Amino acid sequence: MEKSGQRVPFTVENIKKCICRDCPVQNTSQCIRKRSEKAKEIMENIESGLVPKPEDIPGLYCATGVVTCKDIDTSQMCICGDCPIWEEYNLADGELLGYYCRDGKAK
Ligand code: SF4
Ligand code: SF4
């Protein structure tokens, strides 16, 4: 873990690995849908070496923390346990076990 307490770094590589886009907690949200369209455009056009703004990316909440969209459905099951980032950063060993969009970033 880094000294800053940032367990998972917010990088383009990690944004691409994140599977939040397939998660039932957020895929009925209109707010997320709008953000996803914008994010797709940003990711397709991002110049190498640049990193998008966290608030434009509807995922990687283990790095960025609570989502600002209010219409997510946290009665559904978080799928972070199936994500490659989960393994890579050993998130099963963290303070929070998924639902980073609801509870804040991984520590
Ligand atoms: S662990 Fe969860 S929040 Fe983090 S990148 Fe994977 S799916 Fe996204
Ligand atoms: S952090 Fe977990 S609950 Fe939230 S959108 Fe990602 S996979 Fe779903």
The tens place of each residue's pLDDT in the chain, 107 residues long, gives: 445 578 999 999 999 999 999 999 999 999 999 999 999 999 999 998 899 999 999 999 999 999 999 999 999 999 999 999 999 999 999 999 999 999 999 99
Rounded CA gap, 5 and 25, in Å? 26
User: Backbone phi, then psi, for 20, in 5-degree steps?
Assistant: -50, -30
Which ligand has the shortest distance to the CA of 103? Answer: 2
Predicted confidence at residue 67, as pLDDT, reads 97
- Could you identify the residue written with the tokens 């957020």? 26
Work out which ligand 2 atom sits closest to the CA atom of 77. 3
pTM: 0.94
Predicted confidence at residue 4, as pLDDT, reads 58
Which ligand has the shortest distance to the CA of 64? Answer: 1
Output the residue whose Cα is nearest ligand 1's atom 2: 80
- Please name the amino acid found at residue 74: T
Q: Name the residue of 18, 74, 79 whose CB sits within 8 Å of the most ligand 1 atoms, as the mutation to test its pocket.
A: 18
